[in-house]
Amino acid sequence: MKLASSRIPARLNVVLGSVLLGLHLLVLLALPLLPLPTAWAAAALAAVALLSPTLWALVHEAIHGLLLPQRRWNQLGGRVLAIAFGAPLRALRFAHLRHHRYNRTPWGRDEVYDPAEQPRWFAYVAHYVRITFGLYAAELAVLLACWLPRSLLLPPLRRACPDLPDGSAGMATMLERDLLAAQGVREMRIDSLCVLALYGSAIALYGSRAWLVVGFLAIRAFLASQFDHAPHHATPLEQRDHALNLTAPRWLHRVLLNFPLHRTHHQNPNLPWVALPEASTFQPGDVSFVRGVLRQWRGPVAVGDAPPMDVPSPLR
């Protein structure tokens, strides 16, 4: 789809990225050097942490090559933003593109469980861990996992990237040629060191108040884990380009860089965030952004209860 507003908003993305990076450096590295009351420091850190969805949205643009028009600068800008977010860009890119490839298939429907294979209580515990902090914790785990031998990482990741029953290719080729290639591993290790240096320095500078940095990351973990899967929860299975378009006030769409228009993104992954509203339509089953997030707290979905193909999502 080609729209009048489909050009990458490079200048706006640079401004937004620069502001977010500046705020991170301010609250993580400069603020602890100032004689500020703890309450003020906590408020400043919380305010920047609440902008985590905006930061992730810019990283997401880089993943799709939509942050900056030039590939080299898109990659560099994305890496810097991802370091501020807390994980290597290459790992985030692989995980997100895998999400697109396997969306609503057995390898990409995190809230769905099979009662014949998994106890109900375990499915509920796993679900609530994932939507509260688990997703972001998994991204932080990459900081250590990228140092493991390739021979240890390849088998489980390959099993998670099979070819699809409809004949579509899986992600095994990208896994071996991009994520776990020598250059990919080296890049992830460099970025992981940068993340550890940034947040390790912040913890050291805050000293006895290091719990403020932990709180900062906890807010980010909660927001990232809450928002990530909300447009997909309890949606029809086997529709790989399907998601909900969530309604929200205009200001919230702008803060989230139109993330709530998620079906439009899945159907048009090459559109920059500014072009999504023009391409969006709403269907039965689409709900508000707040409702889309909150309904996840009703718990996971047994595979027999998930809506079948070509059926609108129920308002669970």
Rounded to 5°, the CA angle 66-71-73 comes to: 90
pLDDT tens for the chain, residues 1 to 316: 444 346 999 999 999 999 999 999 999 999 999 999 999 999 999 999 999 999 999 999 999 999 999 999 999 999 999 999 999 999 999 999 999 999 999 999 999 999 999 999 999 999 999 999 999 999 999 999 999 999 999 999 999 999 988 878 889 889 999 999 999 999 999 999 999 999 999 999 999 999 999 999 999 999 999 999 999 999 999 888 999 999 999 999 999 999 999 999 999 999 999 999 999 999 988 999 999 999 999 999 999 877 765 545 544 4
29 in a structural domain? yes
Q: What is the pLDDT of residue 168?
A: 81
What is the predicted pLDDT for the residue at 310?
53
**Strands 301-302, 112-113: parallel, antiparallel or unpaired by DSSP?**
parallel
284 within domain boundaries:
no
Structural domain tally of the chain? 1
Q: What local confidence, expressed as pLDDT, does residue 273 receive?
A: 97
Look at residue 302 and tell me if it is in a domain: no
Please report whether residue 199 resides in a domain.
Answer: yes
Residue 98 lies in a domain: yes
Cβ(263)–Cβ(244) below 8 Å: yes
> Range of 172's domain?
10-242
**Residue 33 included in any domain:** yes
- For residue 113, list its beta bridge partners: 302
3-state secondary structure the chain: CCCCCCCCCHHHHHHHHHHHHHHHHHHHHHHHHCCCCHHHHHHHHHHHHCCHHHHHHHHHHHHCCCCCCCHHHHHHHHHHHHHHHCCCHHHHHHHHHHHHHHCCCCCCCCCEECCCCCCHHHHHHHHHHHHHHHHHHHHHHHHHHCCCCHHHHHHHHHHCCCCCCCCCCCCHHHHHHHHCCHHHHHHHHHHHHHHHHHHHHHHHHHHHHCHHHHHHHHHHHHHHHHHHCHHHCCCCCCCCCCCCECECCHHHHHHCCCCCEHHHHHHCCCCCHHHHHHHCCCCCCCCEHHHHHHHHHHCCEEHHHCCCCCCCCCCC
Q: Rounded CA gap, 294 and 316, in Å? A: 10
**Domain annotation covers residue 179:** yes
Q: How far apart are CA 181 and CA 176, in angstroms?
A: 6
Instruction: Judge contact between 264 and 256, C-beta under 8 A.
Output: no
User: For residue 265, is it within any domain?
Assistant: no
Q: What is the 3-state secondary structure (H, E, C) of 218-249?
A: HHHHHHHHHHHCHHHCCCCCCCCCCCCECECC
CA distance 196 to 209: 18
